[in-house]
Amino acid sequence: MDVKLEMFRNESESVSFEAGQPIFHEGDSGDAMYVILEGEVEISIGGELVETLAAGQPFGEMALVDQSPRLVTAIAKMPTVLASVPLKRFLYMVEETPYFSVQIMKVMAERLRTLNSWRMSHVSAR
C-alpha cells in the first residue's frame, strides 16, 4: 500500500502491542481505525495472510465508515505502536481536513483492490 498518513507521526497518544498480539479479529465491531507509528501489522482473512503493513500505514478504516463488523484480523508482527483514531476523531478529521479524506479514500481503494486480488487468487487455486 502506497498511502501513508504522515500527519500521525508525532502522535502523543498511542497504543502498544507485543509481537503476535491481536489488535482486532474478523467479526469484531469497529470503534477505531489505527495508524502504525512503529512496527508492522499482519492482516489476515480466515487465518491466511493478505498483507503486511508498516509504519505510516492506516488500517481498520472500513469498519468506521460503514459501521459493520471487521472483515479481517489484524495482529502485531513485532512490537508495534499504533495511533488509535476513534469514530468521533475520524469524523472530525474527515470534516475538517480534506487531505485526510482523500487519503482515506485512496487507502480504501487500494485495500479493496488488494482484497479482490487475494480473493481471485484463492478462487482460481481451488
Go through the domains of the chain in sequence order and give each one's CATH number. 6-124 (2.60.120.10)
pLDDT score, position 1: 46
Its pTM stands at 0.86
CB 60 within 8 A of CB 70: yes
Residue 112: Cβ-neighbour burial (10 angstroms; 0-12, 13-18, 19+):
exposed
pLDDT score, position 125: 63
pLDDT score, position 37: 93
Q: What is the mean pLDDT of each run of 10 residues along the chain (126 residues)?
A: 67 90 96 94 93 92 90 96 92 89 89 83 70
pLDDT score, position 80: 97
